[in-house]
A and B are shown apart, each in its own frame.
Chain A
Amino acid sequence: MQRSKQQTVKAHGRRSRSGQTLIEAMFGFVILIPIGLAAVDVVTLMSAMQTNEQWAETAARAAGSCTCENMGSTMAKKSLTRFVPTNIISSIEMEKIKFDEQAGQVTVSTVMQVNMPIPMPLMNRFECRASAIQPLLATPAEQ
């Protein structure tokens, strides 16, 4: 009788230890998983912003090789058509262009729609903006 009592206590001790580990693991996951998921979103957003900057650069360079604003705008937009939409970056568009012939510079701004891979409340979609400035290269030297 005494032996069986001792066996019962041992078994209870094992169960409570494993339960505690499980609780600790669960508690850990509750902390780690959101951090990890938030990190994924942050990295995605950072990467998207950098991609947007690069596309703005590409668009500005395309506009810089044109002689007038209309053509510059067309070329900048055309350069952005090479972008292939993904589930994360759904679109990129030229927002505005400033063709300053006097200063010999063109500034192109782009806007990018970014969908978060891990949607969070009120933070499932972002709009990234970037602008780039490039010299106007197509204008001939003064006579």
Chain B
Amino acid sequence: MKYRENAKRSQSGASLLLIIACAFGLVLLIYGLFQLSMIMGGSRQVRNAVDAGALNVSKKMMEIRVTTDPKYADVSDTNGKVGMSNVNRLWGKAYLINANLEEMQKSGRAGPSASSNGDTAYQLAQNVNDQLFNELASSKNQDIYFHQMAGRRTANLINPGMGIDRTKTASCPIALVDRGDESNLTMQPTQIPEGVEAGKVDKGSKSYMQGYVPMTANNKKFTFTSFHEGEQPHLISDSLFDASRADKAPLDDKGTTIPNAFRQFAEASNGQTGVSAVASAVANPIRTYDMAIPQSYITIHVTNISIWNVDNKFAKAIPYNFKQQRVHGLKDFQTPTRVINCFGTIGGEYQAGSSINVILNALKADINPAMKKLLQRIQCMDPKFTKAKLVKLFEQQQYDPKVLRYYIFAADHSADHTDPNIQMVPENGSLPPWIDPKQWDPQTLDPNLDGISGTPLVTEPTTTDQFAQADQSPGGTPQPYATNTGVMMWKPGTGFNKAVGDLYVQRLTQLYFSSKP
């Protein structure tokens, strides 16, 4: 009877136990699923926070700026600083100076100071670059920008109210992605001096300096930072980042090439469960610049000299104007045998007018080499300037005989020198404060020019009695005659001291008279 009762109790207890076990199991399962869901949700929260933080870092890195050298003030921002967005501009100027120098060296027109100017231009740019690199690679700076975004988020599914911290790493991985693509520096192939090879990327109607492909000028390596045109900062895959990491695949020995991608690590933990995430983002300033030496200038000056000879011997030199004129050059000139009066009709080459364009074209020779040099150097100030605009500029400018020289420069009223307007102004005209016409020396010309003239760039074949005529009273034997010729001299400058060239047009009219009746 007792046994029967025990058996009954155990049977009824078995059912209840089963129910309790099921209930317990179900609650456990629900709890487990809930925890899993919380971890997965928390993980997603951390991932989202890291993504946002990484994007913010890549965006805000543009705000890191360093003070530049005064030599590069014309390519700095409105506060005289250089950051990621305009560092290519700085390098662009340094590149043009060294490219000009290389061309000068190859053509034998480099002066004694040119080489050191090129070296200094490079070193100054490198110094600013290195300073900026250190700021960009700094863990401290990245921390600040990461926390601006990720610090305002929480991983509350893991630990309510708990923030997301950037993982403290010894080094902040940086990368040079989009190698071989465009930089944010537009260029014109014609602004690169002859004989210098620049890496460029054509996109639509624009050409850009190539990013992350070192190029050489004056035996120095120049590397521009890649920034895709019209692209916003965005996340990139870890594999893309890893393949271009600055520490694993550097572009130079020094390893200070300005990076364009940054990686962030972050973690959140509640003591038992920890979640970490990583995100890489590529930066973009969404701003392009023209490669230029904004504050640079060219000088143009012309001299017309008539040399009066009697019996092939020099008698007198008389400068003449930009118009045809009859000159009584030698009055009652005493020769060994008699007194003669010598006349000349000179300046016939300027019958078409006295604009700079007429003056240049008065040389009956191919002036294209000179125009090419001028255009290349003007495009150092404004890459969009064309030959047609140059001709128009020359046509509009009348040469004032009282003026010794004209300055061609880019007038720019924008704070960051990005709106050039090429002008031609006489020495006594309204010149910008960074041009000092008083430095000019008639013998050595502009001390800021670091090149030498060398052989004439253009030489006009000598013409006889075509643009000038000679006559004398009383007449002589042989008959008086006049020759006319001209040369164009080009004295280049690297642009380091702002002067990028001087074009000198020298016209020479020789008049020959005879003492023999």
Binding site for B on A (CB under 8 A): 17, 20-21, 24-25, 27-28, 31-32, 35-36, 39, 42-43, 46-47, 50, 53-54, 57, 64-65, 103-105, 132-143
* Cβ-defined contact, A24 with B45, below 8 A: no
Bound Cα distance A53, B48 (Å): 10
The contact sample of 27 A-B pairs, CB cut-off 8 A, is A17-B8, A17-B12, A21-B12, A24-B19, A28-B18, A46-B37, A46-B38, A47-B37, A50-B41, A53-B45, A54-B48, A57-B48, A64-B55, A132-B52, A133-B149, A134-B55, A135-B56, A135-B59, A138-B286, A141-B62, A141-B83, A141-B85, A142-B62, A142-B78, A143-B77, A143-B78, A143-B416
* Known pairs A46-B41, A141-B62 / 15 extra A-B pairs, C-beta < 8 Å: A25-B19, A27-B19, A50-B44, A64-B55, A103-B148, A104-B59, A105-B56, A133-B52, A133-B149, A139-B286, A140-B286, A141-B287, A142-B62, A142-B77, A143-B78
Contact B8 A132 (CB under 8 A): no
Q: Does B285 lie within 8 Å of A141, measured CB to CB?
A: yes
Which of B23-31, B326-334, B404-412, B428-436 forms part of the interface with chain A?
Answer: B23-31
Interface positions of B (Cβ within 8 A of A): 8, 11-12, 15-16, 18-19, 22-23, 26-27, 30, 33-34, 37-38, 41, 44-45, 48, 52, 55-56, 59-60, 62-63, 77-78, 83-85, 148-149, 152-153, 157, 232-234, 285-287, 415-416, 418
A-B interface contact total, Cβ < 8 Å: 110
Chain B residue numbers with a CB within 8 Å of A141 are 62-63, 83-85, 285-287
Q: Are B15 and A31 in contact (CB under 8 A)?
A: no
> B60 contacts A104, CB within 8 Å?
yes
Residues A65 and B232 in contact, CB atoms below 8 Å apart: yes
- Give bound CA distance, A140 to B59, whole Å: 9
From B12, B44, B52, B56, A24 is in contact (CB under 8 Å) with: B12
A57 surroundings in chain B (CB, below 8 A): 48
Please name all residues of chain B whose beta carbon is closer than 8 Å to the beta carbon of A27 when the two chains form the complex: 19
| Residues on the B chain within 8 Å of A137, using CB | 55, 59, 232-234
Decide: A46 and B34 in contact? CB cutoff 8 A.
yes
Flag if A143 contacts B418 (CB, 8 Å). yes
- From residue A30, how far is it (CB to closest CB) to chain B in Å? 10
Majority secondary structure, A binding face: helix
A133 to chain B, nearest CB (A): 6
Residues in B with CB closer than 8 Å to A20 are 12, 15
Alpha-carbon separation in the docked complex, A64 to B34 (Å)? 33
Shortest Cβ distance from B242 into chain A, in angstroms? 23
Query: Please, how many angstroms separate the alpha-carbon atoms of A39 and B32 in the complex?
Result: 12
A47 to B44, CA, bound (A): 12
User: In the complex, what residues of B have CB within 8 A of residue A31's CB?
Assistant: 19, 23
Give the contacting residue for B34; candidates A36, A42, A134, A143; CB below 8 A: A42
Q: A24-B19, A46-B41, A141-B83 known; A134 and B52 CB under 8 Å? A: yes
Are A35 and B30 in contact, with the CB atoms below 8 A?
yes
Nearest 9 CB-CB pairings of A with B: A28-B19, A141-B285, A141-B85, A141-B62, A135-B56, A140-B286, A24-B15, A39-B30, A137-B232
Please state if A140 and B60 are interface contacts (CB–CB under 8 Å).
Answer: no
Contact A35 B23 (CB under 8 A): yes
Interface pair B44/A143, CB less than 8 Å apart: no
A42 and B232 alpha carbons, distance in the complex (Å): 40
Complex Cα distance, B56 from A136, in Å, reads: 8
Q: Shortest CB–CB separation between residue B149 and chain A, in angstroms? A: 6
Q: Judge whether B15 and A140 touch: CB under 8 Å.
A: no
Of chain B, the residue at the smallest CB distance from A22 is: B15
In the assembly, what is the distance between CA of A65 and CA of B285, in Å?
13
Q: How far is the CA of A142 from the CA of B62 in the complex (A)?
A: 8
The answer on a CB contact under 8 Å between B153 and A133 is yes
CB-nearest residue of chain A to B65:
A142
Complex Cα spacing A53 to B23, Å: 32
* Residues of A with C-beta under 8 A to B30: 35, 39, 42-43
CB closest chain-B residue, reference A133: B152
B76, chain A: closest CB distance, angstroms: 10
Bound complex: CA A27 to CA B422 (Å): 95
| A59 CB, nearest partner CB in chain B, Å | 12
Bound CA span A17–B11, Å: 8
CB distance from A17 to the nearest CB of B (A): 6
Closest to B149 in A: A135
Smallest CB gap from B150: residue in A: A133
Residue of B nearest to A137 (CB): B232
The interface residues of chain B lying within 8 Å CB-to-CB of A28 are 18-19, 22-23
Min CB distance A24 to B, Å, is: 4
Given the known A-B contacts A35-B27, A137-B55, are A143 and B287 also in contact in the complex, defined by CB atoms under 8 Å?
yes
In the assembled complex, the Cα of A64 lies from the Cα of B232 at a distance in Å of 10
Cα distance A28–B56 in the bound complex, in angstroms: 55
Residues of A within 8 A of B148 (CB): 103, 105
A32: chain B residues within 8 A (beta carbon): 19, 22-23, 26
Residue of B nearest to A23 (CB): B15
CA distance A105 to B53 in the complex (A): 11
Chain B nearest CB from A99 CB (Å) reads 15
- Interchain nearest-CB distance for A28 vs B (Å): 3
Report yes or no: A142 in contact with B63, Cβ–Cβ below 8 A.
yes
From residue A64, how far is it (CB to closest CB) to chain B in Å? 8
Contacts A21-B15, A46-B37; A140 near B77 (Cβ below 8 A): no
